[in-house]
Amino acid sequence: MALSNDSPIGEPKEDIYGLDPFARALAKSIERMEAPEGVVLAINGAWGSGKSSAINLIRYHLGPAVENDELVPVIFNPWWFQGADALTLSFFRELSAGLGDTLSDKVRKSLSKIGAGVSSAGPILAAAANLKAPGIGKIIERSASLFGKLTKHERTLDQEHKAVAHALQQQKKRFLVIIDDIDRLSTDDALTVFRLVKSVGRLPNIIYLLSFDRALAEKAVTERFPSEGPGYLEKIVQGAFDIPPPVADVLRSELVNAAVAVMGDPPERLHVRFWNVFMDVVIPLVRTPRDIIRIANDLKVTWPAVAEEVDRTDFLAMSTIKLLHPEIHAAIRAHPEDLCGVKARDDRRKEALQSQYDQLLAIGGLPEEERLRWRGALRRLFPRLDSVWSNVFHSDDENAHRDRQIASRKHFSTYFSFSLSQDLLPSSEIRKLIERGADRDFVQGYLREALTIRRRDGSTKAALVLDELMIQSAGMPEATVMPLLAAIFAIADELDVEADEEKGFMSMANSSLRLHWICNRMVTDRFELPLRDVIYAAASKDASFAWRWIFSERCRDDYDPNPRPRSSPPSPPLVTEATAKKLARQSLVALRAAAADGRLVKAIRLPRLLFDWSRRTSRGVAEVRRWTDEQLANDAFVVAMAKATTSIATTTSMGWDGDGDRVSRQIARVDFEPYKKILDTDRLELRVDEVLAATTLNDAQRGILEKFKSAPRGSHRSG
């Protein structure tokens, strides 16, 4: 999609912002206006408000008067020239050319002499007016001779001016001198244009139509002539007209159309949020048609890089803030940890917290009304701020993660880097996985390939896929749920790899837990018990043995007459009691088969499986002990149990004087106590020595056994 060049419109049929009635009325006044001593009109408006378009429309409506030779337009483009001399000479040259054959050669020469005379004086007047200008001493030293030169030419210039004025007074036609975009000039050049119009530009039958931002013009005058201020322009301009603001509904509609043309419509379920953000964040910042053009051009450049990887509503809002309030955009970018996620209220320091966030987000110095408006706008983007600036608390940020909103810490950086982090899954991939969820071969092939791709932190892409699937599964089509879950259950043990375990003070996630979370979001939270029963039974039919066991244990727990203590209220049962018992029987058969053919030894959850097995069967501990006794002859089993019985604890020393450790230290211990009934620990000690003496170990296996040998015996608690 091509970028807009921001060209002004030229005809009424192109007007969508309501400028034409204003332009038509002003053109009618100009057409009827008499100017025996010259008239200066001004169109006032902010940058991008449509001043150039208004001038083009005025010229359009003056077309009949121009064709009838009643009015002659003279266009002067001051931004083509720089410096007082160049501006002055070009001004008079354009004026002379515009007057054309209506003046005699003698009068046109008089006009040229005026320009030459004013040009030589212009730089001196400009410098003398600025008392802070460098070299003012030299100007004062030379002022006598310069003033003599000006005085010498004053009568001549006055006579020349009268000659030109007399000639123009005899004209039946009038001349419209148009000077647009004066506010685009430097301060000195803008003042030169005003001085020309004020001093010698006022001639009979000449109407000046100037356009500028009045606020900027008055600021420029005040900088050079502090005593003048707004009065300076009032002495020049006889009629000033403010550009009418665009119709709000039209401005809003054009921005929506421009955004949708680039990004497409938001999903139907997000329409309400789109309009909330659009009305509270975007529209209050957009004042002029040029704002819309700038936003549309920015979206055309940036959106393709992250399309569908971010929430389009938030992306539109951030593009608008970036262009129209870059200081607030920079503040947002610098503070993701203070904006993303959810946070509990702390009413004891509410006022201080509010002030802190005002300063953090660069809105503390704004007028109260504007600051309050920004607070409301930023709350739309970052729900966490509700706990700061209102009395609303959010318990989770699942929607932000699911929809890739800027309030999601995972997705925040994409809004600024315009590229997808390796820690994020492209939305096209997860969408394709869900769309082809009934294709078992595709699902399993995709996940197995993901296991081979390592991320920067050492984990696999498969963990990332499962995390994203958990987030997106709540809205999955019902027909996809059963086949997709069955496909994952069948390779669950392959997916449960040590590399994807997040071990730390605040995190103990692994792919087995991820699969539990997927079940919760995809099935348990969505469907009633009868349908859950059917889905889980079908998915478990050919599930991999370790996951089948773990899942069946969870189902059995729902009907345990002596449930284990829970930290949270019990959730509804996953399946009926009959199905739970059936799954338990099937899982025991599958576990015994895995124990017989060697698969159990390789299970990442081997210790848990052994403990559960010993508790569940009627043969109890004896069956498990008989199997472990046999397996102690297996080197792989020895390594696995050496690893299982060696635990790692972390400790941090505070020091005697507060100068303690900056990082924690790891302490390894071998604790046999939990395993005494199901494992011959004495024989394990002997077998570790035998295996260490072997030459077939890899580095990882040898490291496990050496740590086992060197670690002290006993639990961390007892030590």
pLDDT top residue among 445 and 34: 445
Q: Which residues pair with 42 in a beta bridge?
A: 210, 240
pLDDT of 318 reads: 95
3-state secondary structure at position 648:
strand
Instruction: Name the band, by pLDDT with cuts 50, 70 and 90, for residue 277.
Output: very high
pLDDT score of 497: 92
The Cα–Cα gap between 361 and 339 comes to 10
pLDDT at 344: 58
Q: Which residue has the higher pLDDT, 508 or 104?
A: 104
Report whether 56 contacts 8 (CB < 8 A): yes
Q: Which residue has the tokens 């030299």?
A: 138
Is pLDDT of 507 > 50? no
Q: State the amino acid at position 290 in one-letter form.
A: R
The tally of CA atoms less than 13 A away on the side-chain side of residue 610 is 27
* pLDDT at residue 381 tops 70: yes
Largest CA distance in the chain: 126
User: What is residue 132's predicted lDDT score, i.e. its pLDDT?
Assistant: 35
Q: Phi and psi for 209 in degrees, rounded to 5?
A: -120, 105
Task: Write down the pLDDT at residue 133.
Answer: 36
Nearest to 211 by CA among 174, 242, 234: 242
Cα 479 to Cα 31, 434, 435, 440, 449: the distances in Å are: 72, 11, 11, 14, 25
pLDDT at 662 exceeding the cut of 60: no
Helices 51-61 and 20-32: crossing angle in degrees, nearest 10, is 50
CB 382 within 8 A of CB 340: yes
Tens digits of per-residue pLDDT, 392-438? 888 888 889 889 999 999 899 999 886 666 677 888 888 899 999 99
User: What pLDDT score was predicted for residue 140?
Assistant: 33
CA dist 169 to 34, 65, 157, 166, 689, Å? Answer: 11, 19, 18, 5, 118
Which range, 2-16, 33-47, 97-111, is most confident?
33-47
pLDDT digits (tens, 9 = 90+) for 466-502: 988 988 887 789 999 999 999 999 999 999 998 888 7
Per-residue model confidence (pLDDT) at position 136: 33
Point out the least confidently predicted range of 1-15, 313-327, 514-528: 1-15
Model confidence over 440-471: pLDDT tens digits?
Answer: 999 999 999 999 998 877 889 999 899 889 88
Which pLDDT value is given to residue 688? 93
Asked if residues 524 and 516 have their Cβ atoms less than 8 Å apart, the reply is: no
Task: Write down the pLDDT at residue 426.
Answer: 84
Rg (CA), the chain: 40
Q: What is the DSSP string of 241-268?
A: EEPPPPPHHHHHHHHHHHHHHHH-PPPG
pLDDT, tens digit (0-9, with 9 covering 90-100), for 587-641: 999 999 999 999 999 999 999 999 999 988 777 799 999 999 999 999 999 999 9
pTM of the shown model: 0.66
Chain-centroid distance, C-alpha 579? 48
CA distance 291 to 297: 10
pLDDT digits (tens, 9 = 90+) for 242-261: 888 887 888 888 899 999 99
Q: What is the mean pLDDT of residues 176-198?
A: 83
